[in-house]
Each structure stands twice: as C-alpha cells, then as structure tokens.
Amino acid sequence: RAKSHQRSSFSYFTVDMGVEIRERVRMMHALRAAFENERLFVVYQPQIDMRTERAVGAEALLRWKTEDGQFVPPDQFIPIAEYSGLIVDIGEWVLRSACFELMELHKLGFTEFKMAVNVSQAQFSHPLFLDSLKRALADTKAPAHCVELEITESMAMTDPALLIQTLHQIKQLGAQVSIDDFGTGFSSLSHLQKLNVDKLKIDRAFVNEIGSKSGEGNIAKMIVQLSQSLNIKVIAEGVETEHQADTLMSFGCHLAQGYLYARPLTKEDLRNWLASK
Ligand code: C2E
Ligand code: MG
Ligand code: MG
Ligand code: MG
C-alpha cells in the first residue's frame, strides 16, 4: 500500500472506481441469488396510536441474511436492487408477502389492521406496477383500504405527470399512499397539494431533534401543522423516547413508529406481540 502514494491521483482514482464497480456487481449477483434461494424475508414494524398505545398497523421492511448469517442493511442493498432493476421483482414479492400477512392478521381478528409497503421509483414508474398491485390485492383478498404504499419525496419530483396519474389509479383501487422520510427532499408545497396523498411520514432525523441540543423539534411541528392544513394524516418515524412521544402528541401527531414501542418483528413475533397486548 505504501507505494500507492507514489501513484498519480488520476490512476489512484481509477483503481478505486474499479473496485467500487466490482463490489457492486458482486453484491448484485449475491442479491439475485439470495432472492432466488429465498434468503430474503420481510419484517414488520408496528405503527402505534400513541394515545392508546395500540398498534393500528405495521410497515413491511425487507431483510437480507447472507449464508454466513450476516445481515446486509437495506440502506446498502436497496440501492443495488434499484440500480440493477431487481427491485421490480423483489418489490412485487414484498408487496405480495405483506398483503398475505395482512390477511392472516385480519383472519386472526385484527380486522382494521393496516399494512404499509415501501415502493421504489423504478417499481412505481414500471408500466406493470398497477397490474401487480391489482393482482396482489386480488390473490390475497387484502382489502385495498388497509394497504398503504410509501413513496419518497424525491419520486414526487421526477415525473410529476406520470406520478399524478399513477396516484390517481392507486386511489381508484382504494389503496392509500404516504410520503416517506418527509422533509428531507425539496418538493414544493403546491406540488404536494396536487399529489393528493393520504399521509406524511415525518423523517426520523426531525424526531431525533426533539430532546436534543438542536431544539425542540420545530420542523416536526411544522410538518404536523402542514398535514393538518392539508387535512391528511401524519405519522412520526423513529420515536425512541417518552419525551419525543409526548412532544409529538402535544403537536397534534398521534401516530408513531419507533423503538420505544417495537422494533421490526418477524411475522411470528408480530403475531405474538399483537396477541400479548
Ligand atoms: P424507511 O422506509 O424510512 O423505514 C424506516 C427505517 O427506520 C427502518 O430501517 C426501521 O428499521 C428504522 N427504524 C424504525 N424505528 C426506529 C427507531 O426508533 N430508531 C432507529 N434508529 N431506527 C428506526 P431499515 O429497516 O433498515 O430500512 C431502511 C430503509 O430501506 C427504509 O427506510 C426504506 O427506505 C428501505 N427499505 C426497506 N425495505 C424496503 C422494501 O421492501 N422496498 C423498498 N423499496 N425499500 C425498502
Ligand atoms: Mg418506509
Ligand atoms: Mg422513512
Ligand atoms: Mg428512510
């Protein structure tokens, strides 16, 4: 390695890029193999009404456990799945799994339970996305009004016309739409109004600020007020302390997801957790 200091910065950069791309390709192959060999699975993080502390639904989150028992974080492999196009098939499988589990929970008596599923840009803008949504609902018999698709703010900006049309069709099917990680992108407020979504999810970063040195959560408060003036629902992500929960409730936000209430759980653990409440 000592010798590398003598290389020109140009060749040094090229060598590192080569490694980068090889590593990405390696991960892509490993991810495809994991998907085919059923080493991907879905966990479910409860969403809570903080006033009653009861679960009203859950968010489906994808997990990848490699053969040597290590977990690869979604923040690492989701971009690879998106970049390679694998996300279209994987995402459809997550959606179907989540709808199936939703129906199982309804059959167990949790009849108004809701299920949120993350949807990537590549999936959402795919011409067969609506068909796959319709099929997932039809095959699992999951009621559309209990299924919520989470899109991100950045998606809300790339192709506004296509987005508005797709959202309209999702609405016609009766499913719900929320904007994930809200506040981290830069979508305009007039655009947000046109999108006609059902819910904003306050990004964890703004919840984190509550009780920290940087303030008392002014941005979280603003997002709650925004949701109220747009007359849509709001949920806080990453609630970890009672103080954060109390503060959010004082702002008028009653829904939350976070380690204070529950971590993402396997489907078996979710059932046990719900039964024990
Ligand atoms: P996200 O959709 O914003 O999901 C929330 C993330 O926050 C999850 O991370 C969750 O485990 C984590 N979290 C929840 N409560 C707390 C808390 O109290 N404290 C902390 N520190 N973290 C908390 P996870 O599961 O690692 O997922 C990361 C991201 O990967 C997700 O962010 C989402 O953007 C993406 N992702 C996960 N599953 C899927 C999927 O099936 N499809 C797509 N397209 N993206 C997915
Ligand atoms: Mg999400
Ligand atoms: Mg989020
Ligand atoms: Mg996120």
Average pLDDT over residues 7-13: 45
Q: What is the DSSP string of the chain?
A: -GGGGGS-HHHHHHHHHHHHHHHHHHHHHHHHHHHHTT-EEEEEEEEEETTTTEEEEEEEEEEEE-TTSPEEPHHHHHHHHHHHSTHHHHHHHHHHHHHHHHHHHHHTT-TT-EEEEE--HHHHTSTTHHHHHHHHHHHHT--GGGEEEEEETTHHHH-HHHHHHHHHHHHHHT-EEEEEEETSS---HHHHHHH--SEEEE-HHHHHTTTBTTBS-HHHHHHHHHHHHHT-EEEES---SHHHHHHHHHHT--EE-STTT---B-HHHHHHHHHT-
Query: Quick one: what percent of the chain has pLDDT higher than 70?
Result: 92
State which of 50, 76, 78 you would mutate to test the pocket of ligand 1, scoring each by most atoms of that ligand within 8 A of its C-beta. Answer: 78
Instruction: Please give the number of the atom of ligand 1 that sits closest to the Cα of 82.
Output: 44
Task: Tell me the average pLDDT of the chain.
Answer: 91
C-alpha span between 94 and 81 (Å, rounded): 13
pLDDT of residue 185: 80
**Which ligand approaches the C-alpha of residue 181 most closely?**
3
pLDDT band at 19 (very low <50, low <70, confident <90, very high): low
What predicted TM-score, i.e. pTM, was given to this entire model? Answer: 0.93
Pocket of ligand 1 (CB under 6 A): 45, 61-62, 73-75, 78, 91, 94, 118, 120, 150, 180-181, 204, 237-240, 257-259, 264
Strand 233-236, strand 199-202: pairing: parallel
pLDDT of residue 157: 66
> How remote is the CA of residue 181 from the centroid of ligand 4, in Å?
6
Is the pLDDT at 251 greater than 90, yes or no? Answer: yes
pLDDT band at 277 (very low <50, low <70, confident <90, very high): confident
pLDDT of residue 14: 54
105-158 per-position pLDDT tens digit: 999 999 999 999 999 999 998 999 999 999 999 999 999 999 999 999 877 667
**Closest Cα to atom 10 of ligand 1:** 264
State which of 75, 77, 118, 154 you would mutate to test the pocket of ligand 1, scoring each by most atoms of that ligand within 8 A of its C-beta. Answer: 118
C-alpha span between 180 and 178 (Å, rounded): 6
> How remote is the CA of residue 132 from the centroid of ligand 3, in Å?
23
Model-level ipTM above the cut of 0.95: yes
**Closest Cα to atom 30 of ligand 1:** 74
**Closest Cα to atom 24 of ligand 1:** 74
> How remote is the CA of residue 78 from the centroid of ligand 3, in Å?
13
**Which ligand approaches the C-alpha of residue 240 most closely?**
1
Other Cβ atoms closer than 10 A to 103? 18
C-alpha span between 62 and 45 (Å, rounded): 11
66-113 per-position pLDDT tens digit: 989 999 999 999 999 998 999 999 999 999 999 999 999 999 999 999
**Closest Cα to atom 43 of ligand 1:** 118
Average pLDDT over residues 11-16: 50
Nearest 5 degrees, angle CA 30-CA 32-CA 38?
100
Q: Is the separation of the CB atoms in 198 and 176 below 8 Å?
A: yes
